[in-house]
Amino acid sequence: MIDPSDLALIKESQLFDAEWYLSQYPEVTYLDMSPEEHYLTFGARLGRDPSPLFSTKMYLSSNPDANEAEGNALLHFLKSRLLNGRGRTGVGQGIASEGLQQERTRESESANFNLTYRDDVKFRPGFRRLIRATRQQIISETVSGDYETIANLIDLPQYLLRYGDLVRASVNPVAHYLNNGRREGRRLWPGFDPKWYLANNAGARESGLDPHVHYLERGHAEGLPMSAWTLGSKLFGDYCRSFGLEAEQIDAARREYQTSLRARLDRGELAEMVSKATEIEPLIGQGWAAAMEAGVSPLRSEVVLRVMTAMRAMHDEAQFRRAKAVVLIPWCHLGGAARVAGYLASALSEIYGRGDDIVVVRTETSELDYPEWFPSNARHVDLASAAEGLPEEWKLRLLIEFVRSLRPTAVFNVNSRSFWEALLIWGRPLSKATDIYSYMFCADVDIYGNSVGYPIRRFHQTFAHHRAILVDSDYLKNDLVRRFNLHEAGQRKVVKMATPLEAIHSVAMTPGNGERRRQIFWAGRFDRQKRVDLVYRIATMLPDLEFRMWGKPVLDRSSEKLRVPPNVRHEGIYSAFSDLPLHECDAWLYTSEWDGVPNILLDIATTGVPIVGTAVGGTSEVLHEDASWPIRVEDVDGYVNAIRSILSDPVAARERALRLRGRIQERTADRYREALSRAMEV
């Protein structure tokens, strides 16, 4: 009966070479057992060698206790190394110090060190001398603390190949490791990344042990992952699950291949080929350190593994079906852009006749607070979650490849920062595969007063890649046309899309004329853009009125420093526009420093409530002179006088406001869809 742990030990050891074993004892091929099983059952007892690297005869002659204890020289060797902690690199991925009797030196044994190595083809004469000298340097140092442990763990040839800086500085690599190398995350043997191990195994971090020591003494037995692509790692588990792969099987195949490759790079035809090529081109010989880390992709790169797993997850969300249109949004929570994206997706659904032809991708955060804004059968994909942990450029690449894999006719970008960034890199090739449309809303203004935002920063950089740029106001279109001196063809590419009304609200009741304080409503973000300070100044000049404000700071907290006048009441956030007590509202005040066509203005315009608002940017397209009270931004007296005027003749004010209500109803979903169809035919 074979002990499974013995079998595992043999299989993992570099000192057992299955191929070589079969070549030496070909009759094993015909038996119904693996070479490892044969060796454990019969081979060792017959005195056979497990590989050219391990002499059973020599081992037994110098370790007589092995015969009594195990009857299996290799097993004895491996177990004793595990027990007394000498040369433990064999349990991990190390190779060089895994013991070659031919090379073992007397002085190293007597000094309690196990700095042995195989003399394989990659060791040119100079390198052999370097190893010998370094080994002597390590042995001659004073032993204290972890020194001996590290000296026995280090895969010296690999370490010297990998860290040329130590060689050039002629420092003792073990002393250097203890002083600096451990902190720098240097690897004592190939395939084990101590930084990753500590970052991903809390127990190892908390133990205070050197990560290599922790892995060999505890981690290996506990099945802790050595890297992102080994069994036990969450990422590896996710990868296997998402592709329907058996994790144990994949892990075993990877280990088997790497073991085989490393052995063949040491000896045999492959090693000989590299050696011969190095004779022709010496630069090739500098690649040995890299060769020790070789493996089959993607199980050699955390980033690539993440990208593939993310792509698969996104394909799953997209139901493994193509899409006619892709709509890219940063997130879906309360905000104008997501709402507009909903109108857009609904219009596309009608144009194509099927909502499930639309894939909506959230690129920056995962929230999907208002799925009802989109066609009910649109497919939603969360790139933000899938791409978590990816470096920025890989996230952008993932986005582009995902979009391309959907084979869409058109891609619509509604404020997706990642897509704007991706367009800078891959806009041209993407435009050869699909039509690209991006929405632009009004530019922002920074604290220095400079215009910033996508219309300022990205329009000229990506204009050529777009089939059309969609804007929500004539104001923005005219600004872009003027700024870039666009003529016919250019102007046709900038398409104004009048945002449709979400609902035509019923006309709000006019508040009664009884003994009550008149009320002015305001709602919006308490941000610099919305000029909360203006509201306070206006309120101060109208102390007999009550100002009720809904909203909160979103982008900045500038409003919190302002003194709130006593006649201003903060009402918090409203959950739905229809919840506002508009029957108590005598006039609506809208203030803004810069703007597009805000949804809140469209909503109020349908209620028949008189609006006094800032005429800036796109708001002028709603606040007509004969149907509302448009005022220049800083004209505080203008706002005050307009409010007084409304309150002095509320009936006339209502008539004027109802004119706006009639006019605004031109913004229908049908007209929006027609405009979109025209834009797609540009």
Partner 1 sequence: MGIDLTVVVTAHDEGIIAGPTMRSVEAAIGRAKHEGRTVERLIGLDNPTDECFSFFSESFTDEWAIHRHSFKDPFLLRNAMASIASGRWIAFVDADDLVSENWFFRAMSVLAAAEDNGNKVIVHPELNWIFDESHGVFSKPDQEDILFNPYYFYTANYYDMMSVYPLAAILDIPYDSRDIANGFGYQDWQWNIQTMARGWKHTIARDTVIFKRRRQGSVSVVNNQNKAIIRSLDEMAIDRVSLISSSVSVDDNYAMNHVNKDDLS
Q: Which is nearer to partner 1, 294 or 486 (CB)?
A: 294
CA 338 to mean position of chain CA atoms = 21
User: Smallest distance, Å, CB 147 to partner 1?
Assistant: 31
User: Smallest distance, Å, CB 636 to partner 1?
Assistant: 52
* Residue range at the interface with partner 1 (CB under 8 A); choices 59-67, 89-97, 285-293, 613-621: 285-293
* Residue range at the interface with partner 1 (CB under 8 A); choices 250-258, 494-502, 549-557, 586-594: 250-258
Contact residue for partner 1 among 290, 334, 464, 509 (CB under 8 A): 290
CA separation for the pair 532, 546 (Å, rounded): 15
User: Smallest distance, Å, CB 405 to partner 1?
Assistant: 5
* Residue range at the interface with partner 1 (CB under 8 A); choices 254-262, 440-448, 508-516, 531-539: 254-262
User: Smallest distance, Å, CB 281 to partner 1?
Assistant: 4
Residue 416 token pair: 């997706």
373, 339 contact by CB (below 8 A)? yes
AA letter at 661: R
- Is residue 464 part of the contact set for partner 1 (CB under 8 A)? no
Contact track, partner 1, 317-356, x by CB under 8 A: -x-xxx----------------------------------
- Is residue 122 part of the contact set for partner 1 (CB under 8 A)? no
Q: Which is nearer to partner 1, 153 or 396 (CB)?
A: 396
CA separation for the pair 338, 416 (Å, rounded): 10
* Residue range at the interface with partner 1 (CB under 8 A); choices 97-105, 252-260, 452-460, 628-636: 252-260
- Is residue 281 part of the contact set for partner 1 (CB under 8 A)? yes
Residues 216-245 that bind partner 1 (CB under 8 A): 243, 245
For residue 478, give the H/E element and its range.
helix 474-483
CA 641 to mean position of chain CA atoms = 53
How many CB atoms within 10 Å of residue 164?
11
- Is residue 293 part of the contact set for partner 1 (CB under 8 A)? yes
User: Smallest distance, Å, CB 292 to partner 1?
Assistant: 8
List, in order, residues 6 or more apart from 203 with CB less than 8 Å away: 214, 218, 219, 222, 224
CA separation for the pair 118, 157 (Å, rounded): 9
* Residue range at the interface with partner 1 (CB under 8 A); choices 206-214, 306-314, 497-505, 590-598: 306-314
Phi-psi region of 631 (alpha: psi -120 to 50; beta: other; left: phi over 0): beta
Contact residue for partner 1 among 22, 143, 198, 294 (CB under 8 A): 294
CA separation for the pair 109, 105 (Å, rounded): 7
- Is residue 253 part of the contact set for partner 1 (CB under 8 A)? yes
AA letter at 490: G
User: Smallest distance, Å, CB 197 to partner 1?
Assistant: 22
User: Smallest distance, Å, CB 318 to partner 1?
Assistant: 6
How many CB atoms within 10 Å of residue 481?
15
The sign of the dihedral angle between the CA atoms of 663, 669, 671, 676 is positive
* Residue range at the interface with partner 1 (CB under 8 A); choices 1-9, 187-195, 280-288, 619-627: 280-288
Q: Which is nearer to partner 1, 281 or 579 (CB)?
A: 281
- Is residue 283 part of the contact set for partner 1 (CB under 8 A)? yes
Count, residues near partner 1 per rule CB under 8 A: 57
CA separation for the pair 662, 673 (Å, rounded): 21
Got the DSSP string for 110-150?
Answer: HTT--------TT--HHHHHHHHHHHHHHHHSPP-TTHHHH
User: Smallest distance, Å, CB 297 to partner 1?
Assistant: 6
Q: Which is nearer to partner 1, 397 or 624 (CB)?
A: 397
Residues 385-404 that bind partner 1 (CB under 8 A): 397, 400-401, 404
How many CB atoms within 10 Å of residue 662?
12
CA distances from 603 to 407, 505, 530 (A): 37, 7, 17
Closest CA to 340 of 438, 443, 226: 438
Contact residue for partner 1 among 48, 182, 205, 264 (CB under 8 A): 264
Contact residue for partner 1 among 2, 8, 46, 296 (CB under 8 A): 296
CA separation for the pair 316, 295 (Å, rounded): 28
Closest CA to 152 of 218, 73, 79, 98: 98
Residue 305 token pair: 């593994």
Closest CA to 133 of 101, 158, 156: 156
* Residue range at the interface with partner 1 (CB under 8 A); choices 60-68, 271-279, 437-445, 555-563: 271-279
- Is residue 286 part of the contact set for partner 1 (CB under 8 A)? yes
- Is residue 249 part of the contact set for partner 1 (CB under 8 A)? yes
CA 325 to mean position of chain CA atoms = 24
Contact residue for partner 1 among 297, 366, 668, 677 (CB under 8 A): 297
Task: Decide the pairing of beta strands 451-452 and 444-445.
Answer: antiparallel
Q: Which is nearer to partner 1, 122 or 537 (CB)?
A: 122
User: Smallest distance, Å, CB 546 to partner 1?
Assistant: 57
- Is residue 273 part of the contact set for partner 1 (CB under 8 A)? yes
- 612-646 exposure pattern, b = at least 16 Cβ within 10 A, e = fewer: bbbbbbbbbbbbbeebbbbbebeeeebbbebbeeb
- Is residue 199 part of the contact set for partner 1 (CB under 8 A)? no
Residue 52 has φ and ψ, to the nearest 5°, of: -70, -10
User: Smallest distance, Å, CB 439 to partner 1?
Assistant: 23
CA separation for the pair 566, 548 (Å, rounded): 11
Contact track, partner 1, 402-441, x by CB under 8 A: --xxxx-----------------xx-xxx-xxx-------
User: Smallest distance, Å, CB 98 to partner 1?
Assistant: 21
At 448 the three-state DSSP class reads coil
Site residues for partner 1 per CB under 8 A: 243, 245, 249-250, 253-254, 257, 261, 264, 268-270, 273-274, 276-277, 280-281, 283-284, 286-287, 289-291, 293-299, 304, 307-308, 311-312, 315, 318, 320-322, 397, 400-401, 404-407, 425-426, 428-430, 432-434
